[in-house]
Structure 1
Amino acid sequence: MAKRSRSKSIQSRELLAAANQVVVSQGVEALTLNAVANAAGVSKGGLLHHFPNKEALIAAMIQQALDKFVETLNDELAREPAPDTPGHWVRAYIRASALDDQENYELHFNLLAANFTNPELLKPMRDFWENCHNKIVSSGLDPKVATMIRLAMDGLWLTNLHGFAPLQEPLRSQVIETALTLAQP
């Protein structure tokens, strides 16, 4: 890709999209500042203007992925047909986790990049999932059932991501519906 002219600026989100593309298409080991700059069509200096080092880039990738999941979760909470009932938070988590799109899977690649580079970069994710877990166990459902549902949804997501015997339709939808049924008051 040709380098952008100096007069054309690039947004951080475009650089993050290029970084995601590098990790998804070439693997975590290919995530270098040069590779991202090339994928974005900018100079390395243009990339460094937004992200002063690789760790800053990865931290921004993680935050972007986390923000996307939080937005999806909040959308599902707003769409919950029975808000303020036991399990409403668990049901929203099920629906948010069940989304089967490539952008959702980029989250995992970002996590791999962070863990490979500096596990401390995962702290925002750890904090978020700790908060999710606390909301799930205090959702008004039996904490054991709520936790089992969360772990099942996390497992559904991971098996699909890695291709570890991912569930095919209609079984996948049936499992999600079963989790939603278990999350009813």
Structure 2
Amino acid sequence: MSEAHHRRKQPVLVRRQLLEVAARLAAEQGMTAVTLDAVSGASGVSKGGLLHHFPNKNALLDALFDSLSERFSAEIEEVMRNDPVPHGRFTRAYLSICASLRDRPAESSGWTQITMALLAEPRLRHRWREWVRLREEEYVGTDSSVNAQIVRLAADGLWLADMLGSHELDAAERQAMLERLAELASL
């Protein structure tokens, strides 16, 4: 019997490994590099093993999106737990996490690639719109003001500017802008 038949199966670890490899390939080479063959080869998982978890590239991209958005949501929830002011809490957390991605290159590169995929893939755009809609519904009582919407849109713009490196702000300017936006979310 081959070694694969004697090896203990660990589907959760294999799935996580495949997603990590897909994210790394996307970050290093762009979304076009994320093919089933490339992920299989770079992960050391057979193509059949990969297909067991992800029957096609769309399923892999959906799972990658899910993984990133779940981490994003968890980080937002963590920031919200530490914010004692209910009004605008979600918006301030969203702003904080969007602004912090620039300082976390490993995570930021994954989001950069998935954001590029969002622009190209209508299915992923729909999924992101759904994520936003669900949060808007969940926080309608605390984060539905025009000010909160302005802050979230500014956070998206900051996120995009950070990805593109299009706007250079010194640390003091950036901090002042983030503080002003956080204040605006509280109004």
Give TM-score, length-normalised by structure 2.
Answer: 0.82
How many residues are matched? 177
* Pairing 1:126–2:129 present: yes
Asked if 2 retains the 8 angstrom alpha-carbon contact of 1:90 and 1:183, the reply is: yes
Root-mean-square deviation (Å):
2.3
Correspondent of 1:81 among 57, 71, 84 = 84
Change in Cα spacing, 1:154 to 1:18, as seen in structure 2 (3 Å) is same
What are the within-5 Å matches in structure 2 for residues 1-185 of structure 1? Answer: 6=4, 7=7, 9=9, 10-82=13-85, 84=86, 86-100=87-101, 101-102=104-105, 103-113=107-117, 115-116=119-120, 118-134=121-137, 138-139=141-142, 143-185=145-187
Query: What is the Cα deviation at residue 17 of structure 1?
Result: 0.6
Query: What is the Cα deviation at residue 134 of structure 1?
Result: 4.8
Asked if 2 retains the 8 angstrom alpha-carbon contact of 1:18 and 1:36, the reply is: yes
1:129 partner amino acid: V
Query: What is the Cα deviation at residue 81 of structure 1?
Result: 2.4
Question: Secondary structure in 1 aligned to 2:142?
Answer: coil
Percent of aligned pairs with the same residue? 32
Question: Secondary structure in 2 aligned to 1:99?
Answer: helix
Greater helix percent: which structure? Answer: 2
- Taking the aligned partners of 1:123 and 1:63, their CA distance within structure 2 comes to 13
Asked if 1 retains the 8 angstrom alpha-carbon contact of 2:27 and 2:112, the reply is: no
Question: Secondary structure in 2 aligned to 1:52?
Answer: coil
Query: What is the Cα deviation at residue 70 of structure 1?
Result: 0.7
Query: What is the Cα deviation at residue 166 of structure 1?
Result: 4.2
In structure 2, runs of 5+ residues without a counterpart are none
Asked if 2 retains the 8 angstrom alpha-carbon contact of 1:136 and 1:146, the reply is: no
